[in-house]
Amino acid sequence: MTRKIVLDNQICFQISRAHQLFNKFYQEPLSKFNLTYVQYVTLLSLWEKDGVTVNYLSQKLGLSNGTLTPLLKRLEKAGWITRTRDKADERRVLIHLTELGKQKKEPILNAVQGCLNRLDYSDQQFDEVMDTIEDLQDRLEKSEKKDCEK
């Protein structure tokens, strides 16, 4: 790539800006449920697969255990999840949705979908954005194994 290095040409800056905008974007639908974006994606992961370990969630969400543990404590205190020791291995903590966590799935997803519809993406445009982001993630993971010298 031969583009001049300036702020507006930095992919990382544009993604960081998009991340900030997404945080604001998700505030509207999630505030009705007293959830943050990170709590929402944690619940989203649990709706896909309930009864998982903290380590599983950590890897799935890309969050450290140090970040995830207080987040899970807040979700538990609010009644969304339970945390229990695995009877087969006391070192493992299992995360389960409560009835509240299960019952609120559809209302939350409907609220989020209502906001996502405002982006006015066709299915094809959505798929193209997702493909581009996934390609970028793959390239970043592969680049970790290479030197940055020219």
Contacts of 106 (CB under 8 A, 6+ apart): none
Inter-CA distances, 89 with 51, 84, 85, 98, 113, Å = 14, 11, 8, 22, 39
What is the pTM for the complete model shown?
0.85
Class of domain 38-101: mainly alpha
User: 12-24: per-residue pLDDT in tens?
Assistant: 999 999 999 998 9
Mean pLDDT across 48-57: 96
